[in-house]
Amino acid sequence: MGGGPVGLLCAIEAKQQNFREVTIVEKRGAYTRLNVPQLSPELKKHLEGIEGMPKMKHTYGGASFSQIESPLLRKALSMGVILLRPYLVKGLRGSSEMRNERYKHIVLTVQECEPDGKKVTSTSVSKEIKANLLIVATGGGAAEDPLITKILGFDYQKLSPESYMAYGIFKKTKPVGDPEITDDMFKAYESIAKRGGICFKTADYQYMLSSLSGISRSDFELLKQDQKILEQLIVALKRADTKTTGVREEIKNVKNKLYAFKVDIQRARQLVSRTYPCVLVGDSAVTPHPDTGMGYAAGFRGYKEVKALLEKLAKTTRPDDDSAAFQSFNDLYEVAVSEKALEGTVAICENNIGLLESYRSHLKQFTTQSNSALGTAFQIDLEIVDELIANLNMYREYADYFKHYYTLQTKENWEPLQWIHGPSQLWDEMEFTWKIIDNITRHKPLLKPQLEALQKAIVVDEILPFSSL
């Protein structure tokens, strides 16, 4: 269920292990993503080792999805994988109930849909597929899909504090070829890529994902409404703090297409359905924070665990009992999923610390400019902010600790730390802190002085970095 890179890898692996019939159900009529995800050396080596895959042109640590998805699909089809596209899964039921209240088989009802994957028509073809295993690789939207949450029974936890981000679309200045970017753009691109950030590449423009820490909800709404201010801010912003996305260089020739959007992270509380032979992989299992890289990395780890699961299912001597194989998948993939979620937790803590530090500097200015009664009120707010920053630093340390714990786990030294026994409780505790932060900063335009200075700094389209204002 899902024909992106992770779903394709799983389908190819199933055919390589001689499973009789493998079907991909993909709702998109064609591949349209332009992303250039950062690929680990292990993932690059694996992709290039697949027979029939062309030599990929890597762009500063990444390769476009167009170089990955189409060749993988051709490979899958050449092996006999069945492709239903564009099709939606409209329903499912269990078949062959076992003694442990699980079903041995799962029966999917799929229906042909519009090429955009959003709706079916009255004349759409419908069919059923009976399967021994369903692999869900539909991306982060799985958490909002009733089929996955209510019927398959997967439960998700979301870390909801808002970390504001923006896309910058930069004009290409060199002829077609590789690389196709200016020196300034390359510096910023490379800086983000080295830290696992997301960079995009198309035939006409370069895209960069840039973090906006230290802004309130009021600032965020302003940036969304005023395209020109957002454009100027992204171009001029040069932050020395490299703990999150990293230093941004001054970049020219920015096209008037920038978008501000909210970022949060989520993960499934369990990775195997309690009732059906079904597992989650990729962004369906965990949606990482963009500052910490693409979901494809976590998805590749999930593919490796699916490979081990397929091997165990193929060797199962008791057809009515596959619980050990699924439990092993859940435990081993738990490590990668938790690591990704905790990396995002650290990034969100750091971004919100930046927000509070910005707010604190504003409060100190107000305190010195106010009368004694008002100054006392601001002083109380300062104490609250200091306590919140201390809490965030504590949460960051806990997240780092849990991540370190998961990193040390191996198949030989396995002492699983269940998500619910540590990180999940951490996320629950953090929610209360986010609400306080939101309440005290929501209507405070913390960027206003910087934006005013930015407006004054513009001379004939020449924009200076904040550090020189």
Q: Where are the alpha helices (DSSP H) in 124-181?
A: 146
How far apart (Å, rounded) are the C-alpha atoms in residues 254 and 234?
9
Q: Which fold has domain 5-154+266-340?
A: FAD/NAD(P)-binding domain (3.50.50)
How far apart (Å, rounded) are the C-alpha atoms in residues 349 and 354?
9
Q: How many helices (H) and strands (E) does the chain have?
A: 12, 13
Mean pLDDT across 174-188? 46
How far apart (Å, rounded) are the C-alpha atoms in residues 279 and 290?
24
- Of these ranges, 32-41, 57-66, 355-364, 393-402, the one predicted with the greatest mean pLDDT is 393-402
For residue 363, the model assigns a pLDDT of 85
235 band by pLDDT with thresholds 50, 70 and 90: low
Tokens 């730390």 — which residue? Answer: 417
85 band by pLDDT with thresholds 50, 70 and 90: very high
For residue 140, the model assigns a pLDDT of 87
Q: What digits encode the pLDDT tens for the residues 189-212? A: 555 445 444 444 433 334 445 566
Mean pLDDT rounded to a whole number for the chain = 76
How far apart (Å, rounded) are the C-alpha atoms in residues 88 and 400?
40
- Of these ranges, 77-86, 154-163, 330-339, the one predicted with the greatest mean pLDDT is 77-86
Residues of the chain with CATH 3.50.50.60: 5-154+266-340
Close Cβ partners of 419 (under 8 Å, ≥ 6 residues apart): 157, 267, 269, 334, 337, 338, 341
For residue 111, the model assigns a pLDDT of 94
Return the minimum-mean-pLDDT range out of 15-29, 81-95, 355-369: 355-369
Q: What digits encode the pLDDT tens for the residues 11-63? A: 999 999 989 999 999 999 988 765 666 677 788 888 888 887 777 665 545 67
